[in-house]
Structure 1
């Protein structure tokens, strides 16, 4: 399907857009089912927070109507929304005023093997580290070079995802997913106060786990704690939950907490 730029069908982008020179913007990748973006309110809330923190002006009502109209054109797939600061002159200083640019693209859903969600996946231990920058922590900004470098570390299809730590060695996330673990009977997920992406599926799982009586602790997690975990799983807004079955020589079973949360997501897929 043809992309939209600022609400109009277009495949072109001005070379003066600050996204090209500086990665000055944010993006959301949304699963579309029956012509509607899943977890839409969570995606919009994260985008609003990011625009507020980066001081990018956002017309929430206009953007919302454009996304819904764009997604209504196809039954199922992926919609990628990019919001940039718009055009600017040479130099880092943001233009005043900024006129945000809105870009919408579509693609088929990735053909992930069903076995990933059933039997679990193997993680590749990435050497690339996430830089610690609290001002950008949690944001899904356009600067993804760390993930590009990390994903380039392996070509073996045996690895479905890579594990990323920060420069201090703390466990943070997957290359394109968030991470949870069960340790000493408690459900944990890494703190994202210094770096990492605050995924919408991560937020959905935290809320649903709490509703089911499973409180989630968000805190720093070491590699040693990860190795001691009883079960581990990854999450992403496109595929839901993947159990982790192996990292290096450590092998995990698919645990009961993982299966319970998978069932909760399946029963209530969150298409609102």
Structure 2
């Protein structure tokens, strides 16, 4: 673990990331000492920081710290947490914040190989996401909704949970984004009220636009997911998983997932 470029495992108890969840983070795959799709991750970091009026570290500074972290651990998962740093008491931030950078490394998780080939089971979460347009799409540090959703199941055969908002719109997975294939149209939820717009989601959207694939980014209902020809979930750690089961609905063929995995090298 690196804190502001130095080895360490602790931050100030007055750090606003701890006090108020005031910050953002990225979770990234490290392969051969390089962050996979680093340019996309840094662009998203810049966007999220701008939305929170948080200074974004220089790209060369972060790259130097990644190189330092990866020197002895070339493969795994790297998380970058960026907080607004230590501040005065009260919600109002300082006019000149000194952000805290925390890089941490974890071994890459090992998932059942059949999840890639045969698809995964999803749990339909009872928790409903609250609407907050100001924070929608941002990977900020306030993730209690995801924590509470993740404790709804303990069956290791269930890979992920599906989250809806208060109006019943499908938003995404607990730790992933979701896509559906419906009558030759690629669908993904519109995230202007809540949810996280992940890097792999953006890459799939870019692929659809560049390849001429019909794409709709809009509100989606659970019924639309259950009647889709194919459903998949994606994130930057596991890549892409086709969905084989959700609340009694089963899928057994995954041509879209195969195509996307080949095009984008998203296979776990």
Contact 1:37 1:68 in 2 (8 A): no
Match in the other structure for 1:104? 103
Conserved in 1, the CA contact under 8 Å of 2:45 and 2:56?
A: no
Aligned to 1:237: 236
Which range moves more in the overlay, 65-74 or 35-44? 65-74
For residue 43 of structure 2, give the secondary structure of its aligned residue in structure 1.
helix
Runs of 4+, deviation exceeding 4 Å: none
Q: Which residue of 1 aligns with 2:261?
A: 262
1:42 maps to what in 2? Answer: 40
> In structure 2, what is the equivalent of residue 180 of structure 1?
179
TM-score (norm 1): 0.94
Alignment of 1:21-100 (within 5 A): 21-61=19-59, 62-100=61-99
Cα displacement string for residues 124-161 of structure 1 (whole angstroms, at most 9, x for unaligned residues): 01001111111001100000100000000001112110
2:10 to 12, 23, 42: 12
Q: Is the CA contact (8 Å cut-off) linking 1:172 and 1:191 kept in structure 2?
A: yes
Look up the SS of the partner of 1:44 in the other structure.
helix
Q: Partner residue of 2:214?
A: 215
**Structure 1 residue 10: Cα displacement:** 1.0
Inter-partner Cα distance in structure 2 for 1:86 and 1:216: 40
Within 2, Cα distance between the matches of 1:121 and 1:53? 34
CA distance in 1, matches of 2:262, 2:97: 44
**2:201 touches 2:235 (CA, 8 Å); kept in 1?**
yes
Match of 1:193 in 2: 192
> CA offsets per residue over residues 44-71 of structure 1, 9 Å max, x none?
1111111111111123232333234323
Preserved contact between residue 184 and residue 214 of structure 2 (Cα < 8 Å): no
Alpha-carbon distance in structure 2 between the residues aligned to 1:218 and 1:71: 36
Task: Look up the SS of the partner of 1:41 in the other structure.
Answer: helix
Aligned partners of 1:254 and 1:223: how far apart in 2? 20
Aligned residues: 266
Question: What residue number does 1:131 align with?
Answer: 130
1:70-123 deviations in Å (ceiling 9; x for gaps): 234422101110000000122111122111110000000011111111100111
Greater shift after overlay, 179-188 or 249-258? Answer: 249-258
Matched residue, 2:140: 141
Give structure 1 stretches of 5+ with no counterpart.
none
Counterpart Cα distance in 2 of 1:228 and 1:59: 44
